[in-house]
Amino acid sequence: MLVTLGINPYLAGLAVCLTSMCPSFLNDSYFHVVTSFSGMDIKTSLKTWTIGSILVPIFGSVIICILSLFIH
């Protein structure tokens, strides 16, 4: 289906993987795993991990859009 729409399946797979990195907040168990294993307190984790998990999909989407100009 992707090929008939003119979408590169590799870029589509990368886009799906990027969206799995969604913002992580207090109600997310992965947030607490990162917080406890890194030794950060909750306030520091909210400032760093949550912002980082928001920025990864944004910048990754920009990179995929740039790649889509060169890869057909």
The 10s digit of each residue's pLDDT in 23-55 is 777 777 888 888 899 999 989 988 888 888 888
Q: What 3-state class would DSSP assign to 64? A: helix
**Average pLDDT along the chain:** 86
- Where exactly are the structural domains of the chain? 26-72
* Residue 45 near residue 35 (C-beta atoms within 8 A): yes
Predicted TM-score of the model (pTM): 0.70
Q: Which of 47, 19, 46, 16 is nearest to 31 (CA)?
A: 46
Cβ burial of 11 (10 Å; 0-12, 13-18, 19+) is middle
Task: Determine the pLDDT at residue 59.
Answer: 92
